[in-house]
Amino acid sequence: MKLIIGLGNPESRYQNTRHNIGFDLVDQLAALHGVNFTSGKGKYLAARINHRGKPVMLIKPTTYMNLSGHAVVAAMNFHKALKSDILVACDDLNLPSGTMRLRAKGSAGGQNGLKHIILSLGSEEFARLRIGIRTTDMPPGSFSSFVLGKFSADERTVMDRVLETARDAALDFVQSGIEHAMNHYNKATL
């Protein structure tokens, strides 16, 4: 069982914010497969899809971004998933808007959801799909209001394009593994 975990914050006021792009990805995968999210066996929502005969659980933590690790561990335990079975999708302030980067492992890079998952798992050894949200007109100073801010109409257009590619990359991870997905989608120009 593969798990595609989209990070975000659960309240409706966070919908369409930059920080919730991980939720946007798994929401689109669920819609594409005609399934809805229901309560999981822990602090997360889950939806099951099948991709080319392979079962996949889509996961949305309900713990808020900074405590995502609790939900990830609960989902992994319930579904008996290994670290190699998960792909975590999240926003990345270090990447320009309209880009994405797959990695097989690595540091949190300043992303608090990833930081808590690493702490909870005791390991950086899990795949992640980072979706860039940095814009050229980003205000100086504190970035929390920026990442918790809603996308402009122009940004949303860019994000819709990158999410199409991110959906394909996530399903490639399910079908062929992280190395294959990295080789095919890290080169993509969006």
Positions annotated as catalytic residues are 19
Cα angle, residue 12 at apex, residues 11 and 15 outer, rounded to 5° = 105
CB 75 within 8 A of CB 57: yes
CB 8 within 8 A of CB 45: no
Q: Which amino acid is at 62?
A: T
Cα angle, residue 181 at apex, residues 46 and 58 outer, rounded to 5° = 0
* Phi, psi of 82, deg, nearest 5: -90, 165
| Gap between the Cα atoms of 46 and 57, Å rounded | 6
Is the CA virtual torsion 144, 5, 168, 187 positive or negative? positive
| Gap between the Cα atoms of 1 and 171, Å rounded | 13
